[in-house]
Amino acid sequence: MNKLKKLHILNTLHIYKSLGLKYIDDIQDIDQNNNSIKSLPNNLNDLENIVQSCYLCQLSKTRKNVVFGEGDTNADIMFIGEGPGANEDMTGKPFVGRAGELLTKIIENVLSIKREQVYIANIVKCRPPNNRVPTSQEVESCIPYLLKQINLIKPKIIITLGATAYNNLTNDKTPISKIRGEVLPFGDAKLIPTFHPSFLLRNPSAKKYVFADMKKVKKINDESLRA
Protein backbone atom coordinates (compact mmCIF):
# COMPACT_ATOMS: atom_id res chain seq x y z
CA MET A 1 0.00 0.00 0.00
CA ASN A 2 1.46 3.40 -0.91
CA LYS A 3 1.79 6.33 1.48
CA LEU A 4 -1.05 8.29 -0.09
CA LYS A 5 -3.45 5.38 0.33
CA LYS A 6 -2.35 4.93 3.96
CA LEU A 7 -2.95 8.62 4.65
CA HIS A 8 -6.35 8.39 3.00
CA ILE A 9 -7.34 5.44 5.22
CA LEU A 10 -6.02 7.15 8.36
CA ASN A 11 -7.94 10.29 7.43
CA THR A 12 -11.13 8.30 6.92
CA LEU A 13 -10.65 6.58 10.29
CA HIS A 14 -10.23 9.96 11.96
CA ILE A 15 -13.42 11.23 10.37
CA TYR A 16 -15.29 8.13 11.61
CA LYS A 17 -13.83 8.69 15.06
CA SER A 18 -14.94 12.33 15.10
CA LEU A 19 -18.43 11.08 14.23
CA GLY A 20 -18.40 9.02 17.41
CA LEU A 21 -17.49 5.54 16.13
CA LYS A 22 -15.47 3.56 18.64
CA TYR A 23 -13.42 1.04 16.75
CA ILE A 24 -11.66 -0.43 19.75
CA ASP A 25 -14.80 -0.96 21.82
CA ASP A 26 -16.41 -2.64 18.84
CA ILE A 27 -13.48 -5.01 18.51
CA GLN A 28 -13.63 -5.81 22.20
CA ASP A 29 -17.37 -6.50 21.99
CA ILE A 30 -16.93 -8.76 19.01
CA ASP A 31 -14.01 -10.42 20.76
CA GLN A 32 -16.15 -11.22 23.77
CA ASN A 33 -18.46 -13.12 21.43
CA ASN A 34 -15.39 -14.87 20.09
CA ASN A 35 -16.17 -13.58 16.62
CA SER A 36 -13.30 -11.33 15.72
CA ILE A 37 -10.91 -14.26 15.83
CA LYS A 38 -13.33 -16.31 13.79
CA SER A 39 -13.59 -13.61 11.18
CA LEU A 40 -9.81 -13.50 10.67
CA PRO A 41 -8.35 -15.74 7.93
CA ASN A 42 -7.63 -19.37 8.67
CA ASN A 43 -4.10 -19.39 7.40
CA LEU A 44 -1.04 -17.55 8.63
CA ASN A 45 -0.05 -16.01 5.28
CA ASP A 46 -3.40 -14.31 4.79
CA LEU A 47 -3.42 -13.29 8.45
CA GLU A 48 0.03 -11.76 8.05
CA ASN A 49 -1.12 -9.79 5.00
CA ILE A 50 -3.93 -8.31 7.08
CA VAL A 51 -1.62 -7.46 9.97
CA GLN A 52 0.94 -5.91 7.60
CA SER A 53 -1.66 -3.36 6.54
CA CYS A 54 -3.25 -2.79 9.95
CA TYR A 55 -3.91 0.81 10.99
CA LEU A 56 -6.21 0.13 13.95
CA CYS A 57 -4.06 1.90 16.51
CA GLN A 58 -1.63 4.76 16.75
CA LEU A 59 1.44 2.49 16.71
CA SER A 60 0.88 2.13 12.98
CA LYS A 61 1.83 5.79 12.56
CA THR A 62 5.34 5.42 13.98
CA ARG A 63 6.32 1.86 13.05
CA LYS A 64 8.93 1.13 10.39
CA ASN A 65 7.89 -2.51 10.07
CA VAL A 66 5.14 -4.71 11.40
CA VAL A 67 6.64 -7.60 13.39
CA PHE A 68 4.18 -10.40 12.75
CA GLY A 69 6.16 -13.26 14.31
CA GLU A 70 8.36 -16.03 12.99
CA GLY A 71 9.35 -19.63 13.44
CA ASP A 72 7.94 -23.09 12.87
CA THR A 73 4.25 -22.72 12.12
CA ASN A 74 3.74 -26.26 13.51
CA ALA A 75 5.77 -25.57 16.64
CA ASP A 76 4.96 -27.31 19.91
CA ILE A 77 6.40 -24.35 21.81
CA MET A 78 5.44 -20.72 21.33
CA PHE A 79 7.09 -17.74 23.03
CA ILE A 80 5.18 -14.51 23.48
CA GLY A 81 6.91 -11.23 24.24
CA GLU A 82 5.61 -7.73 24.81
CA GLY A 83 6.23 -5.85 21.59
CA PRO A 84 8.95 -5.00 19.08
CA GLY A 85 11.91 -2.85 20.10
CA ALA A 86 14.15 -0.76 17.84
CA ASN A 87 15.97 -3.70 16.21
CA GLU A 88 12.76 -5.60 15.63
CA ASP A 89 11.10 -2.50 14.14
CA MET A 90 14.05 -2.12 11.75
CA THR A 91 14.10 -5.75 10.64
CA GLY A 92 10.46 -6.84 10.96
CA LYS A 93 11.60 -9.86 13.03
CA PRO A 94 10.90 -10.60 16.70
CA PHE A 95 13.60 -10.76 19.34
CA VAL A 96 16.66 -9.88 17.25
CA GLY A 97 18.32 -7.43 19.67
CA ARG A 98 20.21 -8.22 22.89
CA ALA A 99 17.12 -9.66 24.56
CA GLY A 100 16.65 -11.79 21.46
CA GLU A 101 20.22 -13.11 21.66
CA LEU A 102 19.57 -14.14 25.24
CA LEU A 103 16.26 -15.75 24.30
CA THR A 104 18.02 -17.71 21.54
CA LYS A 105 20.62 -18.94 24.06
CA ILE A 106 17.87 -20.01 26.47
CA ILE A 107 16.09 -21.94 23.70
CA GLU A 108 19.26 -23.61 22.46
CA ASN A 109 21.07 -24.24 25.74
CA VAL A 110 18.21 -25.08 28.09
CA LEU A 111 15.48 -26.45 25.82
CA SER A 112 18.14 -28.06 23.58
CA ILE A 113 16.29 -27.17 20.38
CA LYS A 114 16.94 -24.68 17.59
CA ARG A 115 15.28 -21.27 17.65
CA GLU A 116 13.72 -22.14 14.26
CA GLN A 117 11.82 -24.99 15.93
CA VAL A 118 9.72 -22.66 18.10
CA TYR A 119 7.36 -19.85 17.11
CA ILE A 120 7.96 -16.36 18.50
CA ALA A 121 5.39 -13.56 18.55
CA ASN A 122 4.43 -10.53 20.60
CA ILE A 123 1.36 -9.03 22.26
CA VAL A 124 1.56 -6.00 19.94
CA LYS A 125 2.96 -6.21 16.41
CA CYS A 126 4.25 -2.64 16.15
CA ARG A 127 6.90 -0.88 18.22
CA PRO A 128 5.63 1.39 20.99
CA PRO A 129 7.64 4.65 20.81
CA ASN A 130 10.66 4.64 23.15
CA ASN A 131 9.84 1.03 24.05
CA ARG A 132 7.06 2.11 26.41
CA VAL A 133 4.57 -0.51 27.59
CA PRO A 134 1.69 -0.78 25.07
CA THR A 135 -1.52 0.90 26.18
CA SER A 136 -4.64 -1.17 26.83
CA GLN A 137 -6.20 0.30 23.69
CA GLU A 138 -3.21 -0.82 21.59
CA VAL A 139 -3.35 -4.28 23.16
CA GLU A 140 -7.10 -4.58 22.59
CA SER A 141 -6.81 -3.77 18.91
CA CYS A 142 -3.86 -6.12 18.35
CA ILE A 143 -4.51 -9.15 20.53
CA PRO A 144 -7.04 -10.83 18.19
CA TYR A 145 -4.12 -11.33 15.76
CA LEU A 146 -2.10 -13.13 18.43
CA LEU A 147 -5.09 -15.23 19.49
CA LYS A 148 -5.58 -16.23 15.86
CA GLN A 149 -1.87 -17.13 15.55
CA ILE A 150 -2.20 -19.35 18.63
CA ASN A 151 -5.39 -20.82 17.20
CA LEU A 152 -3.66 -21.71 13.91
CA ILE A 153 -0.28 -22.84 15.25
CA LYS A 154 -1.83 -24.83 18.10
CA PRO A 155 1.28 -24.94 20.31
CA LYS A 156 1.28 -27.42 23.19
CA ILE A 157 3.25 -25.04 25.38
CA ILE A 158 2.98 -21.25 25.50
CA ILE A 159 5.68 -19.31 27.34
CA THR A 160 4.82 -15.73 28.13
CA LEU A 161 7.84 -13.49 28.65
CA GLY A 162 7.33 -10.83 31.29
CA ALA A 163 4.34 -9.20 32.93
CA THR A 164 2.84 -7.50 29.87
CA ALA A 165 2.65 -10.76 27.91
CA TYR A 166 1.22 -12.77 30.82
CA ASN A 167 -1.25 -10.16 32.10
CA ASN A 168 -2.65 -9.33 28.67
CA LEU A 169 -2.89 -12.85 27.32
CA THR A 170 -4.64 -14.24 30.38
CA ASN A 171 -6.35 -11.11 31.79
CA ASP A 172 -4.89 -12.17 35.14
CA LYS A 173 -3.13 -9.34 36.93
CA THR A 174 -1.07 -11.53 39.30
CA PRO A 175 2.48 -10.10 39.43
CA ILE A 176 4.94 -12.01 37.29
CA SER A 177 7.23 -12.60 40.30
CA LYS A 178 4.39 -14.58 41.93
CA ILE A 179 3.09 -16.50 38.92
CA ARG A 180 6.31 -17.38 37.03
CA GLY A 181 7.02 -21.06 36.72
CA GLU A 182 3.38 -22.10 37.26
CA VAL A 183 1.88 -24.45 34.68
CA LEU A 184 -1.53 -23.04 33.76
CA PRO A 185 -4.22 -24.23 31.35
CA PHE A 186 -4.71 -22.05 28.27
CA GLY A 187 -7.21 -23.65 25.88
CA ASP A 188 -5.64 -26.94 24.83
CA ALA A 189 -2.16 -25.67 25.69
CA LYS A 190 -0.15 -25.33 28.87
CA LEU A 191 0.92 -21.78 29.63
CA ILE A 192 4.08 -21.12 31.61
CA PRO A 193 4.89 -17.53 32.50
CA THR A 194 8.50 -16.54 33.03
CA PHE A 195 10.61 -13.39 33.23
CA HIS A 196 11.35 -11.33 30.11
CA PRO A 197 14.91 -11.63 28.74
CA SER A 198 15.28 -7.80 28.97
CA PHE A 199 14.63 -8.12 32.71
CA LEU A 200 17.36 -10.77 32.89
CA LEU A 201 19.80 -8.42 31.14
CA ARG A 202 19.17 -5.88 33.88
CA ASN A 203 18.96 -8.48 36.68
CA PRO A 204 21.29 -11.38 35.82
CA SER A 205 20.68 -12.96 39.24
CA ALA A 206 17.12 -13.78 38.10
CA LYS A 207 18.47 -16.08 35.35
CA LYS A 208 18.27 -19.03 37.72
CA TYR A 209 14.48 -18.71 37.86
CA VAL A 210 14.13 -18.72 34.09
CA PHE A 211 16.52 -21.67 33.96
CA ALA A 212 14.23 -23.56 36.38
CA ASP A 213 11.11 -22.59 34.39
CA MET A 214 12.68 -23.74 31.12
CA LYS A 215 13.73 -27.05 32.66
CA LYS A 216 10.07 -27.53 33.50
CA VAL A 217 9.12 -26.69 29.91
CA LYS A 218 11.69 -29.17 28.60
CA LYS A 219 10.31 -31.93 30.82
CA ILE A 220 6.71 -31.29 29.69
CA ASN A 221 7.80 -31.13 26.06
CA ASP A 222 9.91 -34.31 26.26
CA GLU A 223 7.04 -36.15 27.96
CA SER A 224 4.55 -35.05 25.31
CA LEU A 225 6.93 -36.19 22.54
CA ARG A 226 7.14 -39.66 24.16
CA ALA A 227 3.37 -39.94 24.68
For residue 105, give the nearest of 94, 115, 91 by alpha carbon: 115
Q: How far is the CB of 120 from ligand URA (least distance, A)?
A: 7
> Which of 28, 104 has the CB closer to ligand URA?
104
Q: Which residues have a Cβ under 8 Å from the Cβ of 9 and sit 6 or more positions away? A: 55
Judged by CB under 6 A, how many residues of this single chain contact ligand URA? 12
100, HSE (Cβ side, Cα atoms, 13 Å)? 19
> Which of 27, 120 has the CB closer to ligand URA?
120
Which residue's CB comes closest to ligand URA? 81
Q: How far is the CB of 49 from ligand URA (least distance, A)?
A: 20
Under rule CB under 6 A, which residues in 182-201 are in contact with ligand URA?
198
Q: How far is the CB of 16 from ligand URA (least distance, A)?
A: 31
Got the DSSP string for 124-192? Answer: SSSPPGGGPPPPHHHHHHHHHHHHHHHHHH--SEEEEEHHHHHHHHH-----HHHHTT--EEETTEEEE
* Binding test (CB under 6 A) with ligand URA, winner from 81, 134, 155, 193: 81
Under rule CB under 6 A, which residues in 97-136 are in contact with ligand URA?
99-100, 122
The site string for ligand URA over 134-173 (x = CB under 6 A, - otherwise) reads: ----------------------------------------
Cβ–Cβ under 8 Å, residues 82 and 164:
yes
Q: Which residues have a Cβ under 8 Å from the Cβ of 210 and sit 6 or more positions away? A: 106, 194, 195, 200
> Which of 36, 94 has the CB closer to ligand URA?
94
The values of phi and psi at residue 126, to 5°, are -125, 150
* Binding test (CB under 6 A) with ligand URA, winner from 85, 128, 144, 193: 85
> Which of 85, 144 has the CB closer to ligand URA?
85
With the CA atoms of 215, 116, 143 and 153 taken in that order, what torsion angle do they form, in degrees rounded to the nearest 10? -90
Residues near ligand URA (CB under 6 A) are 81-85, 88, 94-95, 99-100, 122, 198
